[in-house]
Structures are given as C-alpha cells and as structure tokens.
Amino acid sequence: MNIHSTEKDASESEGWTTYTFTKASELAESPPMEWRVNKLFPRHGVAFIYGESGSGKSFLAVDLAIAIARGESWQGYRTKPVGVVYVPLEGAGVPKRLKAIALSRGGERLPDNLIVTKERQFSLNDDDNVKGLGHYAVQAAGVGAVVIIDTLARAAAGIDENSSGQMGTAINAAEEIASMIEGLVILVHHSGKNRESGMRGSSSMKAAAETVIEVSQDSAGRRSWKATKLKDSGDYRPHAFVLEEVQWGEDEYGEPFTSCVVHPDVVAVVPAMAKGMGGNQIPVLAAITKALETAHEGVAYAPAGVRALTAAEARKAGRAALAAMGIEKSKLSTRYADAVKGLLGRGILKTAGAARSCAGMPMKPDKVIWLA
C-alpha cells in the first residue's frame, strides 16, 4: 500500500467535509481591514461600548453617531460617512442630547442620515425583531450603515448574560443584523460589578467583538474612554473627555431644559502630550485645542472632515492664553510663533496654506491649523 498516495476512490471520500485552501502568499496580498472610524471601528462586524452607569457611555455613543453620519473627525480619529440608525432602549433622553449638540454647534442642522427609532421594545432573541431592524436600517440609512443599540441589557431582556450559550445567541443575532446591512452593529453595554473584569456577563461577548471600548469615571469625576480590544490596530491609549452642560428654554415649572455634550478634556489631554514641551507650547496647544471644538470643517487647505482654524483665529486664542500667563504684550507675537513652530515640529499641529497676491503685490500665505 502506498501511504503517500493522494488519490481516493469515490466510495472512500463520501461524507467527508470539504475544505477550501488559500496560499499564504495570496493571503499576505489581501487588502487591509476597512475602517468606519480609522483604526478604531471597522466597517463590518459587531463592536461594544461599555461602562458603569453614569460614566457617559450613551453620551459618547450619540456623539459618535453624529460624527459618523457627518463623516467628521471623532475624538481625533477620522471617519468615513454613512447612515446611522440609533436604537435607544433606555429612557427618553436622546432628543434632549441631540438638541444640546445642535445648540453647542451654533444651532446647526443635525445630519439627515442619522435615524433614531421611536420604538422602545426590541429583542435580539426575537427573529422577527432582528430581521425587521436589519431591513429597516437598510431602507432608512442604506447599505453599509451603522446600527447602535443602546443598551444590550434591554435588547437581551430575559437572556442570562452569564450564559455563554444564551449570550452567544444574542451576539449571533447582532452579527445577522451586521450581515443584512453589510455594516457595523455597536452594542452599548454595562460594566460588571468588578470593573477590572470588563463587560458584564459572559466573556464570549468580547471574544466575538471586533472592537471593545471601555468608558470610565474615576473617584475625582474624571471621565475617559479607551479600547480594550482592537483588530489590526494597537491604539490602547486612554482618551479623556468632559460632559459640558447645555441649557435652553424652560419646562412647566420654570426650570431650564438641560443635557450634556461631549468634549475632549483639554486639561487632561495636554499634560499627557506635554513631555518635552516648552513652557509656552502647553498653554498655546490647550487654547488651540479648545478653540477647535467649535471650529468649522471645510476650511480651505485642511483635510475633509477635520475642524480647523485660520491662522488669525489660532493666533488670537494662543496669544490670549499667553497673556493670561502674564507675558508682556510686546513679547506675545514672538512667544506664540515660537510655540506654534515647536508644536508643528513635534507633529502635534498641522498647517497648510497657499500664497496669494493682491494687485500684483505678494501677500503672506493664508494658513489654517488643525490637530494632527
């Protein structure tokens, strides 16, 4: 008998499972992962945002939804625009959050491709619910959409979160929605009793996810988020943020309507970047970062989807920060210019511009500045 023979007669191979093989050399040439939020959330699959109650995870999820719908930078990460379906199953605070975000941006219209479901009942354990949401998302937001379900606990009501089998069924349902929309499903979830243990429930959830984001708040009230699992990426840095209260109108008792919007925590972010910086670079960077929160996109020469300041706007903010430190007025311009030169050299700020001419006379370039 020739044990090296690779030929089998038909009767011997009946019932075998067939496999498809690909050469390693061909796999090495396959295209890289496609991102919805660059190096953070992929275009396809299931992801999680989780945290303790009150950590700000839902505010962060709404902020993310708007950034993706608009295709604007989110927390320093570039996005590719697509329709978003937000499924709020806990409370009725989303309208106020959206109102606050619109007001914080000068009353601008929120993107029409951000769709919010009105129903407060949805179950990942109900096949009709799952297929209905997938179908609705494609119709309302288009193929490749992002669906955000807030929260998993409400969407998996009656399911034992500690059962890998039952939670596996729920995650399979989320994956089915992702397949139907050919896009991404993000599940907002709670932390376990022991925060160090990660998400509440079975560890199979993290294993099945493409991306897992943890949102936390420390004993001093400082909030931050960080990735605890990423595919094909390695950015696990914490990102500090604050919730800024926005008020408008009054209710029947004369109390103002309020909600919060997400902003990067400049005080926390700048020291984290400050190692080796000059003494003037830190306040200038903090001032420019703060000014960029309400800056416009589409400013000439800046990349698409990135908020940027004109050189004059950046100079005004930076000089004001230096003046607040007690620097003499006659030295403000030089100190500011040196600080910006250093920040550009460190790659923290980016700038671009082009020379103009007026009546035949050359003029200085119209520069714009943004965070790298």
Backbone phi and psi for residue 253, each to the nearest 5 degrees, phi listed first: -100, 5
| CATH fit for domain 35-264, picks 3.40.640.10, 3.40.50.300, 3.70.10.10, 3.50.50.60 | 3.40.50.300
Residue 270 in this model has a pLDDT that exceeds 60:
yes
Residues ≥6 apart with Cβ < 8 Å to 149: 87, 89, 122, 155, 174, 185, 186, 187, 188
Which residue type occupies 118?
K
Instruction: Specify which residues 246 forms β-bridges with.
Output: 259
208 vs 26 pLDDT, higher one? 208
pLDDT at 133: 97
pLDDT tens digits, one per residue of 290-349 = 888 778 877 777 787 788 888 888 999 889 888 877 788 888 889 999 988 888 888 888
Which residue type occupies 227?
A
Quickly state the pLDDT bin for 116 (edges 50, 70, 90). very high
- Sketch the domain layout of the chain as residue ranges: 35-264, 266-371
Q: Are the C-beta atoms of 262 and 241 separated by less than 8 Å?
A: yes
